[in-house]
Structure formats: C-alpha cells, structure tokens
Chains A and B, each alone.
Chain A
Amino acid sequence: MPEDDKPKRRFPDGIREGSDIHTLESVFLTIVGLIVLAAFVEAFSYKLVSSRTPFVIMVPLLLLIVFQSYRITRAGALREIRYHAGAALRGRYAVFGKLSRLALAIVGFFVVVYAFGHYIGVAAFVLFLMRRLARERLALSLIVALGTTLALFGIFEGLFGVDLYRGLFFRWLMGYRDF
C-alpha cells in the first residue's frame, strides 16, 4: 500500500523507514489471526470427525501466525502502527487513498448491479472510474463504458448463453413483488 510513495515521504523521529509495510503486515496478521482463532473456538462445537482436520490445520497455523507476529514486531512498533494508521486514514498516503476509492467503487458497482442489473452497473462503473477517478476525457470514457457493456452482452449472452442479472428494479417492473 504505502510503499509506492516512499521517496516523497518524510517520517518524524522514531518512525523507521519500512515500518509502513510492517504496520500493514501487523494489521493483516491480526485480522487473519482473529478469524482463525474464532474458527478454532467454533470447531469445538462440531463432532470430532468434522473438527479433526480443521484442528490439524489450525494448530500449526496459529503457531505460525504467532511466530510471524513475533518476527516482525520490533521495539516501538505500537507507536509506528498508530502513526501509519492515522496517516493513512487522514489521506496522507496517495496509493492507499487511490486503492480505497477503487474498492469503494467496486462496492458501489455491487449495489448498482443488485438494484439495476449488470448492464447499467457495468456502464456506470466504467464511466465513474474513468471519468471521475482517472480523469479521462468524457468522450473516451463514454465510448469505453458503452463498448465494455456491449462486449459483455456479446460474450456472455451471445456467445455463451449466460443470462446476466437484470436487477431488482427490472424484476419489480416485471411484476415480481416477493424479494
């Protein structure tokens, strides 16, 4: 995430170079560790035949996560994590901001597809990314958005006979009321 804009960055005293990646890994490992721990506790509620293999996997996995966390932990790590997390949330890391906006656009794509179907979702998604986030020319953005939508229709519906999702609104127009 933040590694790409390294040359531009100046860290305050006590924040080491490369600690941004350590912060990212610490957060990543913490989330993975917590999920595995939750799964470990959950596995106790299953019959032994069902929980045997997950336990065989999770015991070494938890040990490795602890070991890896120990490996990357250094003195002053907590302060660095606080610093980088705060800086990322305040928008000081350009790449993090760029990727967060892309991730949010994808979530938006999901919502639009759910409501209005694939074709409107795809056209809106491509147009939004190109025009709004990438600041491409409007004409080019429109051409690419329409071209992509038509290509998807051609490939999925024409070539492979896969009906893409039409969306809740279309279903409502068709008389469905039970969602």
Chain B
Amino acid sequence: MTILEGLTSGFLQSVSLDVLPYLFVGSMFGLIIGIIPGLSGHFAMAMAVTFLYTMEPAAGIAFILSAHATVSQGGGLTAILFSTPGTGQNAATLFDGPAMRDKGLAGVAVGAAMASCAFGAMFGALVLAALIPVLRQVVLFFGPPEIVMLAFLALTFVAVLGREDMIRSMIAALVGLLLAMIGLDNVTNTERFTMGILSLSDGLNLVPVILGLFAVAEMFDLWATGGSLARNSEGPLSAKETQRQIFEGVRLTIKNWWLVMRCSAIGTAIGLIPGLGSAAASFIAYGHAKQTSKDKESFGKGNVEGVIGPESANDAVEGGAVASTIAFGIPGSSSMAILLSGFFILGLETGPRMLNQNLDIVFVMIFTIIIGNLLGTIVGMFAVNPMSRATSIRAEVMVPVLTAIILTGAYAAERSMFDIGVAVFFGIVGYLMKRLNYSRAAMLIGFVLGFAVEKNLYLSLLLDGPWFFLQPIPAVLGLITLGFLVYNIWVVVRDRRARRRA
C-alpha cells in the first residue's frame, strides 16, 4: 500500500459511519474520564480495550485512541477550575491555570487549554504522518536481535525515567516479563508456571491484567480517598461569561501560534523517547514557555502562556509515542502498551507489516487523534459547566458502578469467570504498587513485551548465535542501554554521598 493510498483509505474510514460513531463515543468517554480526578488516560484505554473484541480494526483503533486522545483536555479543565489536575500530565497547568481562575479568567484559561491541546495533538499527528516514509525504511533494519535489544532499551528507559524509584521500577519490569512466561512455551509446548490451572495454559489474558493494574487499582484508591472533588469548589461559572472567555482563550492560543508550535515540537520529541511521557513534556514545555516569554515575572501569577505551553506539549506527545509503538512494537508508556494490546486483540501486527500492508490503520490513528481532539475541544468549549459537574459525583457512588462495569468487562473479553479473579488479583497488586511507588507502567510494558522478547531472543540465538548482540545496531542499542543504566546508578550514588556529606 502506498502512502497516498493509505492516507485516502485511512481518511475515508475515519469519517465513515462504521468508524465515526466509535470515535465520537471514545472522545466523549475520554473527556469525562479526564475530568474525574484519579482516573487517567490508561484508565480510559483499559476500559475501552474490553470492547475491542467485537469491533472491526479501524473502529476499534478509533475507539481506544480517541478515548486516550481527549483525556488531557478534560484533565486541564479540572486543573484550572478546581486546582486538581484530572491526570498527571496536566500538573504543569496548575502553575498558571488556577491563578487565572482567581483573577476571574477561568474561561480564558479553559479555552486556551483546550485549543492548545487540540493544536498540539494535530502537530503530533502530522509529525507522525511525516515520519511514516522514514519509519518504513528504518524498520527494515530491525530484525530479531535489534528488537530484543530495543525492548531492553525501552524497559530500561521506562524504569529509570519514570516518576517511580529506579530499583522498584526495575523489579516491576522484570516481574512483568516473568508474567509473560506463564502458559505454553511456543517452542517446546511445555506448560510453564501454570500451577496445573487449565485457564493459565494460554497465559494470562491481557485485558484482565490491564483492567486490574489500571482500573481496579484506581477504584481501591478512590474508595480509600472517598468524597468528591467539587466539595471544595465555588460552583460553576456563569454560562454567558464563560463562553465569551473561552473564545478569548482560543483567540489567544492562535495569537501565540509560535509558542504552540515550539511546545508541540518538544512534546512530540519527548513522545519518541520511551519512559518520559506527557507529564515530563508539559513541565519542560512550561519551563521553555517561561524562559522565552517577554513577561517572565507574571508566570505563576496567571499568564496564559503558562497554560498554552504545557497543554500543547502534553497532547503532542501522542504522535511521537505512537510512532515508536507502531514501527517497532515497543511501547514507551502504559497507554501505548495498552494500545499495543489493542493491536493484538484486533489482529494487527506492528513493524513492517503495519507500515506497509496496514498503512490505512496508521492513518486512521492519525485522523483519530486529529478528529478526536477537535471533537473534544468543540464539545468541551460548549459544555464546560455541565461537564464540570462530573466532579461532584462522590466516590461512594462512582466506585460501585465503575467496579461493576470493570469486572464485567474483565469477564466479557474472553467470557471467563477466571478473568474476573485475575482482574481482582492485579487490582490489589496494582494498588499496592501505586502506594509503594513501584511502576505499573514498567510492569505492563514488561508483560506486553515478554512474548516478543522471548520469541525474538530465540530467533536471534538460532539465526545469529550467542553473540547476536555484537552486530552493529544491537551493539549500539546495548551500549546505550548499559551507558544509560550505569550513568543513572552513578548519579544516584553520587547524590547519596553528597547528602551524607551535607
């Protein structure tokens, strides 16, 4: 399939009646999830993934990706209105969003945040489209040895660069890899670590593990916290004034187009690096916006550039993150790991096949990011007040309903009661990991990559012998991994020594 054919087919599928309703529902779902603090992008995707079994590839991809695409728009809204970011990626918006609200400019901040998100996402999607010809060539150099080394590189990056402690994250990543070993070994057909349980013969199913780690665990957390976000708020804005301010926010975003472009570029570049994620991108973009502003002093006191910068970057990350996931099958974050699981469920294969035979699906992704964000922005602009009421739902009402839906979703994926138990088990594990600062993203990525790592390791040893990692590309990737790990361990040791001396 040529790029032009893929583009045309992808566009036509995205706007067809077979796909567009899923895209719309996914966008709205993501927007609402983003508004509810404690529920984030990977929660939206984890919930969405349970429905993929019944969908066609294009519809499924549009559904899951649009749910993720609009989460940060909803999260920005609560960061501004309630000083609580709906998701971690909106944390940088807290510097200037609430300050603008206190000045009576909440609508301007919301409008700027939503428009920046949409423009940032479009930028990321266009970069992804522009990268396709390059990726099609690069991916040809990646055989089994390269994939093995790249997987270790990604896991190391995720473990080291994540917000969590490095040792704990490495434990989580290795546990994830080990979990992938459960079930029949593809080479010898030997059952491994199944404890004689028939339901484990095919290994752990992805959906209940994802739902457990990212959805059930969040329910435990919400239940422990209790109450609702809106209890401390001063009530919604007046409808007419809000609309006027929102359009002013959009106008200001367009006026600051050069800042949007720069921060979006930062976001997209960070998206290409596994492990950094949207939160890091938005903080770096905030720093850049402040550094380059003519009015540095007003940052933190309600400068609209302090909202535009981070919000542009956190949605632009998606384009970069999707690029590495589709080209190499190596996800850089928990959301991308869930997206990769979605590919498996829909019968899609990443790598050269995705970039050649299924190029239309890649363009469906690109158009989903663009259309989903546009839909999110338009709906968000006109429905700020009603949507902000979602924050008044108490955890005592939300948790029972969502838990019932999550556990039913765990069953529905394979129609297996055993999977409900798996989701509950991983829910408890996920909650403990969250409380104890162990990276759930590293564990999920390890789990998703485990199968590919083992298969490619086997092929590498078979085709190239035990010294397969000395070939040029694997050697470079191995050296980067090793150098990165050694450098970060050295930094930790150095800091500890400095603290002791102080």
A77 sits at the interface (CB 8 A) = no
Chain B, residues 405-419, CB within 8 Å of chain A (1/0): the string is 101100110010100
Q: Which of B396-433 contact A (CB under 8 A)?
A: 396-397, 399-401, 403-405, 407-408, 411-412, 415, 417, 420-421, 424, 427-428, 431-432
- Asked if B436 and A21 sit within 8 Å, CB to CB, the answer is yes
- Asked if B181 and A57 sit within 8 Å, CB to CB, the answer is yes
B32 sits at the interface (CB 8 A) = no
- Asked if B436 and A125 sit within 8 Å, CB to CB, the answer is no
Which residue of chain A has its CB nearest to the CB of B421? A110
Interface on chain B toward A: helix, strand, loop, or mixed SS?
Answer: helix
- Asked if A148 and B407 sit within 8 Å, CB to CB, the answer is no
The number of chain A residues with a CB under 8 A from chain B is: 61
> Which residues on the B side are within 8 Å of A49 (C-beta)?
185, 187-188, 458
Q: Which of B31-58 contact A (CB under 8 A)?
A: 51, 53-54
- Asked if B168 and A68 sit within 8 Å, CB to CB, the answer is yes
Known: A57-B178, A61-B175, A64-B174. A164 touches B190 (CB 8 A): no
Choose one: B178, B192, B400, B411; the contact of A118 (CB below 8 Å): B411
Known: A47-B190, A49-B188. A24 touches B432 (CB 8 A): yes
Interface on chain A toward B: helix, strand, loop, or mixed SS?
Answer: helix
- Asked if A57 and B174 sit within 8 Å, CB to CB, the answer is yes
- Asked if B412 and A61 sit within 8 Å, CB to CB, the answer is no
B220 sits at the interface (CB 8 A) = yes
Known: A24-B435, A50-B192, A164-B411. A130 touches B400 (CB 8 A): yes
Chain A, residues 131-165, CB within 8 Å of chain B (1/0): the string is 00010100010001100100110011000111111
Known: A28-B436, A160-B51. A99 touches B220 (CB 8 A): yes
In the docked arrangement, what's the CA distance between A54 and B403, Å?
A: 34
> Which residues on the A side are within 8 Å of B421 (C-beta)?
110
A116 sits at the interface (CB 8 A) = no
Which residue of chain A has its CB nearest to the CB of B408? A152
In the docked arrangement, what's the CA distance between A71 and B492, Å?
A: 14
Q: Interface residue tally of chain B, by bracket?
A: 35 or more
Chain B, residues 208-248, CB within 8 Å of chain A (1/0): the string is 00000000000110011100000000000000000000000
Choose one: A102, A136, A151; the contact of B220 (CB below 8 Å): A102
- Asked if A57 and B177 sit within 8 Å, CB to CB, the answer is yes
Q: Which of B173-215 contact A (CB under 8 A)?
A: 174-175, 177-178, 181, 185, 187-188, 190, 192-193
Chain A, residues 86-104, CB within 8 Å of chain B (1/0): the string is 0000000001001100110
In the docked arrangement, what's the CA distance between A136 and B424, Å?
A: 24
> Which residues on the A side are within 8 Å of B458 (C-beta)?
49, 53
A89 → chain B closest CB, angstroms = 17
- What are 21 A-B pairs at a CB distance below 8 A? A3-B435, A46-B192, A53-B454, A53-B458, A54-B192, A57-B174, A57-B177, A58-B174, A68-B171, A71-B167, A99-B224, A106-B403, A110-B407, A113-B411, A113-B420, A125-B404, A134-B400, A148-B400, A152-B405, A162-B53, A165-B415
